[in-house]
Amino acid sequence: MRHRFAALLLLLTVALTSATAQQNSQKDKILPYPIHQKELANGLNVVTVPYNSPGLAAFYIVVRASSREEVEKGKTGFAHPIISFN
């Protein structure tokens, strides 16, 4: 009886561990689509995510604007107005 309980406990542990590992590997992907990233000569970072949607397109502009991005000494306080206009 003890051997059956130990074997069942071991089997349950292995099953739960493998299920958790599989879920963690799926969480690492942000989108279920391939992501392509390219930096242009002018420094613009372009990210494209193609997916099958005939006749539809989406376009987003992401601007890094926060006090964290204000690195020039003596030039601070610009982030708040920029964030307010979004």
Beta bridge pairs of residue 36: 48
Integer Cα distance of 71 and 26 in angstroms: 36
Average pLDDT over residues 72-82: 70
The answer to whether the pTM exceeds 0.85 is no
Nearest to 50 by CA among 29, 28, 31, 35: 35
Residue 80 main-chain phi, psi, to 5 deg: -60, -50
**Contact status, residue 65 vs residue 82, Cβ threshold 8 Å:** yes
Domain boundaries, the chain: 2-84
pLDDT tens readout for residues 6-60: 666 666 676 666 655 555 555 567 778 888 899 999 988 888 888 888 888 888 8
Q: pLDDT confidence of 68, banded at 50, 70, 90?
A: low
Compute the residue count for the chain.
86
